[in-house]
Amino acid sequence: MKKLSVKSVVATGIGAALFFVLGKISIPTPVPNTYISLQYAIQAVFTTLFGPIAGLLIGFIGHTLIDATSYGPWWSWIIASAFVGLVIGLITWKMDINEGLDGKKLLRFNIAQVIAHLLAWGLVAPVLDILIYAEPVEKLFAQGLLAAVANILTTGVVGSLLLLAYAKTIVKKGSLKKED
């Protein structure tokens, strides 16, 4: 697993801050308390680059800050956001984007994020909402389904584009030559 180096700690802080900012900029949906936003694309990219612990912390810290500055912590969804980072990180942790990004790695990234979002918003968040808050089941699964679909689409499009852009900035080994 990727170590939690100083670089990873700094990336976690930046990722959590970006998660927070992007989470505050959102498009409301017809389902109450469910929004379309881009924070999960950022979380998925940072998680793929820095590992599952960074991803878990980005989701946990970022979502906690969003809730704390809005209506107070909603722990079931905070935990689900952390879960998204953990799952994506566990599935993508052996991928080394610094060695290049091919179709196979991009597919793995997207499979990871689809699995993470389906589990987080279709299972973790609704079940915790029932256990912690005794929320009505019908509302929970409508919220979860919409959140999963919105997050899968935004992460798939924006996250893939960000990974492709990042991969293009990597200097390939052996491509630099010393000038005489």
Q: How far apart are CA 48 and CA 41, in angstroms?
A: 11
Phi first, then psi: give them for residue 27, nearest 5 degrees: -105, 120
pTM here? 0.91
Are the C-beta atoms of residues 105 and 97 closer than 8 Å to each other? yes
The DSSP code for 80 is H
Domain definitions of the chain by residue range = 6-169
Domain 6-169, second-level architecture: Orthogonal Bundle (1.10)
A 10 A CB-CB count for 60 gives: 19
Per residue of the chain (180 residues), give pLDDT as tens.
456 789 999 999 999 999 999 999 999 988 888 889 999 999 999 999 999 999 999 999 999 999 999 989 999 999 999 999 999 999 999 898 988 999 999 999 999 999 999 999 999 999 999 999 998 888 888 899 999 999 999 999 999 999 999 999 987 666 556 676
Using an 8 Å Cβ cutoff, are 137 and 130 in contact? Answer: yes
